Amino acid sequence: MAAAPRRLGATFAAGRGTTGLIPYLTAGYPSLEASLEMMRGFDRPGVRAIEVGIPFSDPIADGPEIQRAAEWALRSRVGASETLALVAGLRRVSQLPVVVMTYANPILRHGIAAFAEAAREAGVDGILISDLPPDESPEVWAALDRAGLDTVVLVAPTSDAARLPMLVARASGFVYCLARTGVTGSGGGDATGLEERVAAVRALTALPVVIGFGIAGPSAAHALKGVADAVVVGAAFMRAVTVDPARGAVHRVQTLAGELLEALS
**Active-site annotation holder among 43, 62, 71, 125:** 62
**SS3 at position 105:** helix
In this prediction the pTM is: 0.93
Q: Is position 51 annotated as part of the catalytic site?
A: yes
Helices 249-264 & 32-41, crossing angle to 10 degrees? 30
**DSSP, res 4:** P
Alpha-carbon distance of 86 to 244, in angstroms, equals 22
Rounded to the nearest angstrom, the gap between the alpha carbon of residue 176 and the centroid of all alpha carbons in its chain is 9
Q: Choose among 84, 86, 178: nearest CA to 130.
A: 178
Residue-wise pLDDT tens digits, 113-151? 999 999 999 999 999 999 999 999 999 999 999 999 999
Q: What pLDDT, on a 0 to 100 scale, did the predictor assign at position 1?
A: 38
Q: Is position 62 annotated as part of the catalytic site?
A: yes
Residue-wise pLDDT tens digits, 29-48? 999 999 999 999 999 999 99
- What's the chain's length in residues? 265
Q: What pLDDT, on a 0 to 100 scale, did the predictor assign at position 186?
A: 53
**Active-site annotation holder among 51, 65, 125, 150:** 51
Q: What pLDDT, on a 0 to 100 scale, did the predictor assign at position 4?
A: 39
pLDDT along the chain (265 residues), means of 10: 65 96 98 98 97 90 86 96 98 97 95 97 97 94 96 91 94 92 51 86 96 92 96 95 95 98 97
